[in-house]
């Protein structure tokens, strides 16, 4: 069952796949259909947006900080 909700950037309808039981094949088919419905530009925009989101999460949790030089005494 596919449930539609909200809008993705540039007025593209997003959808959510709801299954009674876990079905990896259905999930893959659903994801491929969704990706094929997007233009190359939209896919790259999604990828770059997600990359920025991950960077922010890493910084927030203390990762991605510059290394420190520790002086031994």
Q: For residue 7, what are the domain limits?
A: 2-60
C-alpha distances in Å from residue 31, one per residue of 5, 20, 34, 57, 65: 16, 17, 5, 24, 34
Q: Is residue 44 part of a domain?
A: yes
First-to-final CA distance of the chain: 65
Q: Which segments of the chain does DSSP mark as H helices, in order?
A: 24-37, 40-60
Domain membership of residue 68 (yes or no) is: no
Domain count, the chain: 1
Q: Is 50 inside a domain boundary?
A: yes
How far from the centroid of its chain's Cα atoms is residue 25's Cα? 20
Mean pLDDT for all residues in the chain: 77
Determine, yes or no, domain membership for 71. Answer: no
Taking only the tens place, the pLDDT of each residue in 11-43 is 445 577 888 888 899 889 888 888 888 899 999
Per-residue confidence (pLDDT) for residue 47, from 0 to 100: 92
pLDDT tier for residue 44 given thresholds of 50, 70 and 90: very high
8 pLDDT more than 50: no
**What is the value of pTM for the model shown?**
0.53
């Amino acid at each position: 069952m596919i449930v539609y909700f909200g809008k993705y950037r540039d007025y593209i309808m997003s959808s959510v796949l709801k299954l009674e039981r876990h079905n990896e094949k259905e999930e893959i088919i659903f994801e491929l259909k969704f990706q094929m419905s997007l233009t190359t530009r939209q896919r790259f925009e999604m990828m770059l947006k997600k990359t920025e989101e991950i960077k922010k999460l890493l910084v927030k949790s203390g990762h991605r900080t510059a290394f420190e030089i520790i002086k031994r005494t």
